Structures are given as C-alpha cells and as structure tokens.
C-alpha cells in the first residue's frame, strides 16, 4: 500500500481538528501544522517500534 | 439566538474576547450534519464553513472513489455487519442514499439509481467486491469513516463554538517553591486569583497553543 494515501487524510484531519479549536485563520493554520507534525512523529515512532519488534522477533 | 464569548487565540497575545454569533445552535448543528460546513455558513462563519466543506466532502468522495463506489452502504445481517456505516452517516446527506437502498433491499425491492450505494445482494457479491478492489475497499472505507467522524467535531463546533482548552482546565505540577510563588503574586499569599488580571493574561497567551 502506498503511504502517500495518508497525506490527504493527514491534511484534512489536521485542518478540521485545528479549526474546531480556533476561530481565525492564523491560529488555525499554525495549530494544524503543529498537529500534523505531531501525528507524523507518532506514526514514525510506531513504525520504529514495530520495525524493531520485527527484527528482534 | 445565541452568542458565545471566549478568550481569543494566542496569536493576538492580548486579553480580548471573541464574540461568535451562533444564531440557532440546534438548527446550525442539524445543518452541519446534513451538509458539512452548512451550519457554519448559516452562522455567517463562511471561511470555516468552506474549509469544513472542502475537507470533509473531499475526504468522503475521494474515499468513495477509491472504493469503487461500493464502500458506502448499510447492511446488518448474518453475512455482513456493516459497522462502518454509522461512522459514514456522520457526513450527512452524502451517505443518506444508502439508507434508502438498505430499506429497499430489506423489503425485497430492487435497488434504485443503478445500484448506487446499494448493499451487496449476498455474501458472494461482497467477496467479489473485496476480490476486485483489493485493499482499496478498506482504504475507501477508512476515508469515508474518518470524514463522517470528523463531521461530529464540526457539528459540535457549530452548536457550541470552538473547543478552546483554557489553562485552568490543565493539570500542571507546580515547578516553583512556595517562596517564589508568593513573590510572583506580589506577596499576596497563595490564594487562588484565577479570576484576576494575571489569569486573563495567561489565558490570552496559552489559548490556541494546545496542540
């Protein structure tokens, strides 16, 4: 499965989530960027853990 | 008609308030469910309404396209418990044809609109869909489910305004000793003055920086 399919979801979820917590464009966009980076970091961490488990197993 | 007043975002860095006219919140929530972003357009929050509409409908229809037009249907029988549909129904009007098709299938009538959003006739047809679409069936299902679930957040935003997390709601461990704490408060002791100006300044700096 191509990981690029995650990108539209990441953008949509970040924008919608941050727009439900702010009212103006500037904080919405900055919050969306931070949230997107956080989600990518979480996904990378999970990937590292799963890869490590695969090597060790 | 309802108006919500709350501290402004961190970007302003000022202790100002934000007035949002929610008009009729229940009607706005219903419109937000029916058409994602519709409730915000009704309230005059045009920018957010268009943002929600583009993001949620775009996600929903892209997932529908990825799934070959087969991933949004309602069925609950011994062969297929379509638990994804309640999530997809959160997207409102775009998912409603599936209810019509499910009702027709339940009463033994043929599907309408060339089988658009109709449930599979039996388990064999469902297995054929999975075989031909491969993982795109699950991918399309995930996209459409997430679109519906995101709209739940949007419905709440239309009903009650943005869910800004105030600093008072956070649980923070005290980082300083009692001497420093008293000094910061100007020697007024350790009484809670959360309604005072200091608290308002903290609000304006922290709100919106809660990612």
Query: Over the stretch B145-171, which tens digit does the pLDDT of each residue have?
Result: 999 999 999 999 999 988 876 666 555
Same domain, B146 and B183: no
Higher pLDDT, A23 or B169: A23
B34 closest CA partner among B86, B88, B93: B93
The domain in which residue A35 lies consists of 3-56
For the cut 50, the answer to whether the pLDDT of residue B209 exceeds it is no
Which of B135, B165, B208 shows the shortest C-beta gap to A1?
A: B135
How far apart CA B211 and CA A27 sit, in angstroms, is 11
Task: Indicate if B49 and B73 belong to the same structural domain.
Answer: yes
Question: In terms of domains, do B152 and B201 share one?
Answer: no
Residue B132 located in a structural domain: yes
Q: Check whether residue B190 and residue B130 sit in a common domain.
A: no
Helix (H) or strand (E) holding B116: none
Interchain contact, A19 vs B157, CB within 8 Å? yes
- Is residue B141 located within the same domain as residue B177? no
Closest approach of A51 to chain B, Cα-based (Å): 22
Residue B94: inside a domain: yes
The answer to whether B47 contacts A25, with C-beta atoms less than 8 Å apart, is yes
For residue B169, the tally of other CB atoms under 10 A from its CB is 8
- Rounded Cα gap, residues B7 and B175, in angstroms: 25
Domains in chain A: how many in total? 1
Q: Are B140 and B191 contained in the same domain?
A: no
- ipTM comes to 0.91
Q: The domain containing residue B98 runs over which residues?
A: 22-160
Whether B61 has its CB under 8 Å from any CB of chain A: the answer is no
- pLDDT value, residue B129: 95
Is residue A39 very low, low, confident or very high in pLDDT (cuts 50, 70, 90)?
very high
In a domain, B3, yes or no: no
- What's the number of domains chain B is made of? 2
Residue bearing the bigger pLDDT, B140 or B163: B140
Report the residue from A8, A19, A35 with minimal CB separation from B211: A35
* pLDDT tens per residue, range B21-40: 888 999 999 999 999 999 99
Contact B59 A35 (CB under 8 A): no
A9, A16, A29, A39: which to substitute to probe chain B, counting the most B Cβ within 10 Å?
A16
Residue A39's nearest CA partner among A16, A20, A13 is A13
Q: Is residue B165 within 8 Å of residue B203, measured between CB atoms? A: no
Q: What is the 3-state secondary structure (H, E, C) of B17-70?
A: EEEEEEECHHHHHHHHHHCCCHHHHHHCCHHHHHHHHHHHHHHHHHHHHHCCCC
- CB-based contacts of B111: which residues, under 8 Å, 6+ apart? B101, B104, B105, B118
Given CA atoms A14, A16, A22, A25 in this order, what sign does their dihedral have? positive
Q: CA-to-CA distance for A19 and B157, rounded, in angstroms?
A: 9
Q: Are residues B134 and B183 in the same domain?
A: no
- Please tell me whether the overall predicted TM-score, pTM, comes out greater than 0.80 for this model: no
Whether B5 has a pLDDT exceeding 60, the answer reads yes
Tokens of B193: 């003055």
Model confidence at A2, pLDDT cuts 50, 70, 90, reads confident
- A8 reaches B (C-beta below 8 A): yes
């Amino acid at each position: 499965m191509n990981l690029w399919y995650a990108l539209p979801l990441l953008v949509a979820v970040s924008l919608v989530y941050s727009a439900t917590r702010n009212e103006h464009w500037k904080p919405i966009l900055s919050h969306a960027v931070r949230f997107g980076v956080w989600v990518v970091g979480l996904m990378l961490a999970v990937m590292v853990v799963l890869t490590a488990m695969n090597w060790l197993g | 008609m309802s108006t919500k007043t709350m501290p402004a975002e961190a970007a302003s860095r000022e202790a100002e308030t934000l007035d949002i006219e929610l008009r009729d919140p229940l009607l706005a929530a219903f419109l937000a469910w029916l058409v994602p972003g519709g409730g915000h357009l009704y309230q005059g929050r045009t920018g957010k309404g268009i943002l929600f509409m583009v993001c949620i409908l775009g996600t929903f229809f892209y997932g529908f396209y990825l799934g070959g037009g087969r991933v949004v249907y309602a069925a609950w029988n011994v062969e297929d418990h379509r638990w994804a549909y309640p999530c997809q129904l959160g997207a409102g009007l775009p998912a409603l044809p599936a209810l019509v098709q499910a009702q027709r299938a339940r009463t033994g009538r043929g599907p309408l609109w060339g089988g658009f959003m109709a449930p599979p006739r039996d388990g064999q047809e469902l297995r054929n869909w999975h075989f031909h679409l491969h993982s795109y069936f699950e991918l399309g299902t995930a996209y459409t489910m997430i679109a519906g679930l995101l709209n739940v957040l949007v419905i709440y935003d239309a009903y009650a305004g943005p869910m800004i997390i105030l600093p008072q709601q956070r649980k923070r461990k005290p980082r300083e000793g009692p001497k420093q704490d008293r000094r910061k408060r100007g020697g007024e002791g350790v009484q809670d003055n959360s309604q005072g100006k200091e608290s308002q300044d903290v609000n304006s700096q922290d709100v919106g920086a809660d990612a």
